[in-house]
Structure 1
């Protein structure tokens, strides 16, 4: 059963990656079908097998030998793992799953394009709010309003220190999570982002001009949601 759940999850993960890759640039998620990003050759069935195919192909297109993005493997593995952690017969477990899924797909758009894609952010937020209301969980509106004012003011003083999409994302999560969880989330995310930045600067001798922050927020959210279960 666990293997079946992981396989289904990895298939969903592959689709999620495609959505995150195409939606921000206005491309259809149906047409064209999956293809090599370099030579645009349509992939055959055996080349679409999650995780296995890209490893067997050694991360290269078998037609043009262009290097294939590891984002698909990453997405397939992570979503497959989330499926293993989810009890789909339990409403709260499904809520945590969709919360994590939202964070992950926005992580991908932030990595690909440095944006929190509105076409994905708002529908997933409505879904989460619906689950939140159905489970009779509290909405921390005051926390959200206070946080929005603080972050916006900070961004006004330090121009573009925080992306507008990041502010909306953090604010909405604040409404759902509340004070304590949000403070912990920001502490973990900021600490991880700072560590990566220092590692790149001091060890790799590379200066990062723009560091996607959503991946760190998503990682912190995952820890909070699943370690608190």
Structure 2
């Protein structure tokens, strides 16, 4: 872990500047681990356009090859049950309901992936996991991992934060807690709500989902 002193004061506080690259040249994730076989472990999200569904692999393989993605490793979709038609329709009127639903987050993640901004959701989810930790070593480890993956300017998954929030995070990283990234998480949540959510509602992904539930309702 690296610290630097704030200039202009003899007793200036140390500021966290991220991991020491001379000691930790790689992220905490092992990028050399083999890719999982999605066909042998199908996602629970097969009712929609999840990237891990075997029937959708060819389309997504072509899409991955056709773009220069900045996400080297995409985690699996969250485990969830099939949402009701009422729940799916309710997402259109409430971003909060969408984000509280594991199925809703999975659909929204698929949309963010098409806009090359999935790191926003991944960061938000990582912050939620950090809040569940109470063991100090685990808190420090997860906080460092979040910093390296989403805050560091060296990371390909860096999220967009203003300088005030970044400075606050640097100070808090001297003594990480489950709420170290609360301000940053709120800023990214607001960004997704105001910027990405309106486009999601007009996207083919969400419209196809609505068409599917309407067709199912008419057939039944």
Sort the TM-score into its range (normalised by shorter chain).
Answer: 0.3 to 0.5
Give the TM-score normalised by the residue count of structure 2: 0.33
Give 1 or 2: higher helix fraction.
Answer: 1
- Rg larger for: 2
Give the TM-score normalised by the residue count of structure 1: 0.32
Give 1 or 2: higher strand fraction.
Answer: 2
